[in-house]
Amino acid sequence: MEGAAEGEHQRKQGDDNSGKPVIASGFHSFIPPGFFAFGSKENIDAHQGCQESHRHQDELDYQFPFSQKIQPGPGMHQCKDPVKDETSVIHGECEAIAGEEMDEGPFGEWTGYYASSMRPEPIMKVKRLYHRNNPIILGAPPTRPPCEFNYMRCFMRSALIWQQMEAAGIPDIQGVWCHEAGGARLLTIVSIKQRYPGHAKQAGMVAAYCHACGYLGRYVIVVDDDIDVTNTNDVLWALTTRSNPEIDIEMIRRSWSGPLDPIIPKGQKGHSSRAIIDACRPYEWMSEFPPVAESSPEVRRAAEEKWGKILDS
């Protein structure tokens, strides 16, 4: 069926011969009206581990080997060796029948909470299963951060945001880090070398609303290039000493959110707010800002060479 669901958020096992695709509208894909028309059966190809990018989504979910997708199947009789021409590790030929559903949830999410209630979801009945020799299936259950599930996404989403900021024309980006405490989405830190008035605010806005960071974000903190974005103490020091809440925090309402946002009440899901915090030295009097009380890199290196054996023991 053309134009049907072509990506899924989660896939759960039902019994030995069935599974449940959990499809998040606007995030991965959709089921259009009429997909299950008049009690019909629809064939579905289910891939585990596909590496191809998806035309509707950011590359995070479809270019890496722990991804999964579903797409309309060509029919059981047309598939002889579907894995041969795919990058997927496991390929299932499934059948979805209108009206056949199974209770799904609750499921622990990347936010660290059981964010979804129990509700009925369509069933995919597995008709055939193909797999590569010695397939490697990566599993990392999302739990309260920090956890392995979030760590792997921190690195990839940080790289995607950096790439998309540069593509938008933001100069002199020195670092991007999606902090693990925010599940790789809710807290993003960007380091820049300030080049002009408004540079920090521009970087924060673009970071907050580029595609890789647009869904269910919360805070973006922009810091100077002397701050290590992966060092929480560095970031908090810049936040507390280089930002004035009255003028350096921008609040933006009605931003893209979703059903997993734990702070948004039921019935109001879909929108949330953003805070973009400028934690850089004020550009207009940057040269007059108090100097940092620390040893220079040269002095630190000399001390390490002279006293390193004692300090490391």
Q: What is the pLDDT of residues 132-187, one digit of tens each?
A: 787 777 677 788 888 888 888 899 999 999 999 999 999 999 999 999 999 999 99
Together in a domain, 156 and 259: yes
Element of type H or E holding 45: strand 41-48
pLDDT at 212: 94
The whole-number pLDDT of residue 244 equals 97
Domain's final residue, options 131, 163, 191? 131
Q: How many domains does the chain have?
A: 2
Are 177 and 227 in a shared domain? Answer: yes
94 exposed, middle or buried (CB, 10 Å; 0-12, 13-18, 19+)? Answer: buried
Alpha carbons 80 and 142: distance in angstroms, whole number: 36
Known catalytic residue: 109?
yes
Tokens 């309309």 identify what position? 72
Residues 196, 111 within the same domain: no
The reply to whether 138 falls in a domain is no
Any idea what DSSP says for residue 178? E
Residue 106 lies in a domain: yes
pLDDT of residue 157: 95
CB 220 within 8 A of CB 276: yes
Describe the strand order of the beta sheet including 271-279 as a list of residue ranges: 173-178, 187-192, 219-224, 271-279, 249-256
| pLDDT score of 311 | 78
Please, what sign has the CA dihedral across residues 156, 113, 24, 74? Answer: positive
Task: Give the dihedral of Cα atoms 116, 120, 125, 126; nearest 10 deg.
Answer: 10
Tell me the mean pLDDT per 10 residues along the chain, length 313: 40 60 55 55 60 40 40 43 56 77 81 82 80 75 84 92 97 97 95 98 97 94 97 97 97 91 88 96 96 89 88 75
- Final residue in a domain of this structure, among 131, 158, 183: 131
Domain that holds residue 102: 10-131
Catalytic residue among 8, 109, 121, 180: 109
Q: What is the pLDDT of residues 192-226, one digit of tens each?
A: 999 999 999 999 999 999 999 999 999 999 999 99
